[in-house]
């Protein structure tokens, strides 16, 4: 696995850990306002805590909401699947970004190899004045100035000053 693959895997693990951690609650939040805590956070906390008093308080609130342990387990499983799908999508997106920056090949449009771009050419017109034109490098044909936009107006490619 390359560096990019390791980074994507580490990123996915971090996202999964943060997603799971953000879906739990604390004893303080539960005792302060139990109805403000989501059922999902109650279930995740109930499944992960080792503190028996906190676990009893979570169980009491879950029972008040008519949620049992099987429903909690199913809810957690579905959420973990959704998180895993999100992480997989993010990993695929990261892989696509890495490949697009490193020319991994496959799919997509790329300019044909024969296209070499365009460059400026200075030459004399019929009145003996120097004029600038944009030429396609491969064919020497004159093309719209937009093809040379942003390029320095130099005449290194076609040094002769007479158009042909």
Segment 105-148, tens digit of pLDDT: 555 555 555 567 898 888 888 888 989 999 898 888 889 988 88
- Tell me the C-alpha to C-alpha distance, in Å, between residue 20 and each of 1, 11, 12, 107: 26, 14, 12, 35
Q: Give the confidence band of 10 by pLDDT, cuts at 50, 70, 90.
A: low
- Please tell me whether the overall predicted TM-score, pTM, comes out greater than 0.75 for this model: no
> Which segments within 45-163 are labelled E, that is strand?
118-124, 130-136, 142-143
Burial call 143-154: b when 16+ CB within 10 Å, e when fewer: eeeebbeeeeee
pLDDT for 114 equals 58
- The phi, psi pair for 53, rounded to 5°, reads -65, -45
pLDDT for 157 equals 79
């Amino acid at each position: 696995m390359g560096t990019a693959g390791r980074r994507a895997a580490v990123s996915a693990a971090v996202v999964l850990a943060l997603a799971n951690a953000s879906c739990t609650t604390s004893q303080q939040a539960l005792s302060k306002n139990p109805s403000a805590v989501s059922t999902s956070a109650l279930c995740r906390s109930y499944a992960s805590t080792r503190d028996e008093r906190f676990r009893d308080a979570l169980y009491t609130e879950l029972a008040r909401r008519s949620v049992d342990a099987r429903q909690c387990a199913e809810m957690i499983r579905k959420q973990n699947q959704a998180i895993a799908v999100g992480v997989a999508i993010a990993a695929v997106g990261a892989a696509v970004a890495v490949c697009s920056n490193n020319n991994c090949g496959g799919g997509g449009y790329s300019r044909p190899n024969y296209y070499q771009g365009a460059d400026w050419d200075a030459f004399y017109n019929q009145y003996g004045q120097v004029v600038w034109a944009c030429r396609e490098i491969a064919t020497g044909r004159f093309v719209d100035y937009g093809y040379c936009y942003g390029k320095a107006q130099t005449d290194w490619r076609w040094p002769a000053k007479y158009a042909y």
